[in-house]
Amino acid sequence: MDRILIRGGTPLSGRIAISGAKNAALALMPCALLTDEPLTLRNLPRLADVDSFGHLLNQLGASTQIEGARPADFGRVMTIRAGRLTATEAPYDIVRKMRASILVLGPLLARAGEATVSLPGGCAIGNRPIDLHLKAIEALGGEIELAAGYVKATAPGGRLRGGCYTFPVVSVGATENALMAAVLAEGTSVLENAAREPEIVDLCNLLVAMGASISGIGTERIEIEGRDRLHGATYRVMPDRIEAGSYACAAAITGGSLDLVGAAAGDMRATLNALSDAGVAIEERQDAIRVEASNGMGPLTLSTAPFPGFATDMQAQFMAMLCKADGASVLTETIFENRYMHVPELARMGAHIEVRGRAAFVRGNTDLIGAPVMATDLRASMSLIIAGLAARGETQVNRVYHLDRGYERLEEKLKAVGADIERVGDG
């Protein structure tokens, strides 16, 4: 199994190209199931999760074609053709690898009138039930049966109908599934307390490009007028705000300066504001965001929240960064109940972090020391990389397959801006 070795202490300097957003790509790809015409996605990141989702679409009868991409390129152009669906079941052996697989439920049901999807897997960051997905589908007339680890959904009469659903809590995935189900439903649907994340906006914009009628995009109330059919489209995946924020933390912890090329400041305002509050210099340029931290960092008090609040997907990276801040910081995780699994691993590197319930207290001015550490989930993995970039000696990060799910060619990008980092195999 591969591992990543980092010899820390070098300030990062240079330009890093920000890839297409993983979380957006995994919501855009199932839109191909909504039409018998080709869907072409540009700027699709080269990630294990994207490959897994492509395999899932193949299982359902869709073809996936990579166009004109060289192995050395970042990003890909993929054309997905689902002219005829040959199956409506998403099997366990694929779905177990990736939680986002549940996003085929809405479009399959909308187009074929039935869908059977295994209960999903993914990162071990706490209980993430899909009950809101199912309740939203039921509000659109879908009938749900749970049996033997599968969700079986049917649309009586072969078609969903417009309906209204108010999410009791904000859910990005459930909003995405409901949107894709509603665009082919008969009549008008209204989603209240819908997620407002940029990835939701990206999904809505693609659906509109395919012929859907959606109003309220980017707000908590989304109205969808169902269509009889959608057509194909060509669409560019938005830049990854979490990747950009992660590299910003890497620049900050090393006292370096990075230009995050292609990053969209409007999509990551809470992250940039938090960095600025810590004393990191942020400059928004025409083609990039410059992050510069030569004057050190101050402590922060942060709480995760749905967009436009501070993203839960940035909590672990900030925790690592704040180990080098000048003072004590407090991070509160409000989204997931088990997202501090990186704390014991950071402690192996000398971090002083105390967890009390949902709050983590981080002592700054820590002399981090390289050590063998174990990645537990995607963002926790990145927090260990960030800590390793600032640690004395060598850090060995194991279970790097988590990183391959969400960061395109991470070691290549970091090496190009001065990091002493390499991937090694057991052989």
Alpha helical stretches, state H, 288-426 = 315-322, 343-348, 378-390, 401-404, 410-416
For residue 39, what are the β-bridge partners? 80, 233
N residues, the chain: 427
Say if residues 259 and 283 touch (Cβ distance below 8 Å).
no
Q: Which residue has the tokens 């003072």?
A: 327
Q: Which residues are catalytic?
A: 123
Buried b vs exposed e over 113-149: b needs ≥16 C-beta within 10 Å?
bbbbbbbbebbebeebebebbbbbbebbbbebeeeee
All residues at 6 or more sequence positions from 26 whose CB lies less than 8 Å from its CB, including other chains: 49, 50, 53, 98, 100, 103
Of 164, 169, 46, 150, give the one whose Cα is nearest residue 108: 150
Is 66 annotated in a binding site? The answer is no
295 known member of a binding site: no
- 369 a known binding residue? no
Q: Is 22 annotated as a binding residue?
A: yes
- The annotation status of 131 as a binding-site residue, yes or no, is yes
Burial group, residue 228, by CB count within 10 angstroms (0-12, 13-18, 19+): exposed
130 is in an annotated binding site: yes
353 sits in which H/E element: strand 352-356
- Tokens 């052996």 — which residue? 93
Q: Is 242 annotated as a binding residue?
A: no
8 A C-beta contact, residue 414 and residue 1 = no
Pairing of strands 150-154, 114-118: antiparallel
Residue type, position 77, single letter:
V
Tell me if 313 is assigned to a ligand binding site.
yes
Nearest in space to 34 (alpha carbons), one of 168, 222, 224: 224
| Binding-site entries for phosphoenolpyruvate | 22-23
| Binding-site entries for UDP-N-acetyl-alpha-D-glucosamine | 99, 128-132, 313, 335
| Binding-site entries | 22-23, 99, 128-132, 313, 335
